[in-house]
C-alpha cells in the first residue's frame, strides 16, 4: 500500500499526487530528480499546506542533496531526530525537543491541530490492523492442520 510521504495517510487510486519537494516552478532543474519526487495526498500537496512554499534556503545548488532545505525532507532528513513526540503513538508533539526545521514542518502542514491528531490516530488504527491482518495470514499459511 502507498502512503502519503508527509501524513502517512493510505493513498487510494485517484488520490495520489506526485509531490515535488522543491517546487517545479522555482527549481525546474529538479523536476525529474528522484530525491525530489514522492507520493503525497491531495491535502498535504494542496495550496493550503505545502502549496507554493519555497523549500530550499537561498539559491539552488547541484547536486540536489547539497541544498539546505527549510522543511524536513522525507528522504534526506532523519525525521525522528527533527520531529519528536511526547507519546509512543505519535499523537502529541514535543515541540521543545523538535528542531527548528521540524517545528517549521509541523506548522506548515498544520499537524498540531485536533483534526491532524485525529487523522494520525486513524492512521495508527489502520497500521495496527494491517499488522494484525498480516500476522493472521502468516499463521494461516503456517498452519499444518
Q: Please, are residues 52 and 12 in contact by the beta-carbon 8 Å criterion?
A: no
| pLDDT, mean of residues 31-55 | 89
Measured from the Cβ of residue 124, the count of other Cβ atoms closer than 10 Å reads 14
Position 131 pLDDT exceeds 90: no
Give the model's confidence band at 87: pLDDT under 50 very low, under 70 low, under 90 confident, else very high: very high
The SS3 of residue 56 is: strand
Residues 31-50, mean pLDDT to the nearest whole number: 90
Looking at residue 70, the DSSP 8-state letter turns out to be S
pLDDT the model gives residue 140: 67
> How large is the average pLDDT for residues 104-133?
90
Which residue intervals of the chain are DSSP H helices? 79-82, 100-109, 114-142
Q: State how far Cα 9 lies from the chain centre.
A: 9
pTM comes to 0.85
Instruction: Say whether 36 sits in a helix, a strand or coil.
Output: helix
Q: Taking residues 92-113, report their average pLDDT.
A: 96
Amino acid at each position: 500500500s502507498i502512503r502519503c510521504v508527509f501524513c502517512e495517510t493510505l493513498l487510494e487510486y485517484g488520490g495520489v499526487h506526485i509531490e515535488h519537494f522543491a517546487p517545479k516552478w522555482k527549481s525546474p532543474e529538479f523536476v525529474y530528480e528522484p530525491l525530489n519526487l514522492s507520493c503525497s495526498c491531495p491535502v498535504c500537496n494542496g495550496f493550503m499546506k505545502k502549496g507554493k512554499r519555497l523549500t530550499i534556503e537561498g539559491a539552488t545548488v547541484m547536486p540536489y542533496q547539497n541544498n539546505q532545505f527549510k522543511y524536513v525532507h522525507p528522504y534526506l532528513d532523519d525525521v525522528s531526530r527533527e520531529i519528536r513526540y511526547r507519546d509512543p503513538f505519535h499523537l502529541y508533539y514535543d515541540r521543545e525537543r523538535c528542531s527548528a526545521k521540524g517545528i517549521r514542518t509541523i506548522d506548515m502542514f498544520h499537524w498540531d491541530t485536533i483534526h491532524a491528531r485525529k487523522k494520525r490516530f486513524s492512521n495508527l488504527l489502520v497500521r495496527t490492523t494491517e499488522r494484525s491482518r498480516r500476522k493472521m495470514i502468516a499463521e494461516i499459511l503456517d498452519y499444518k492442520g
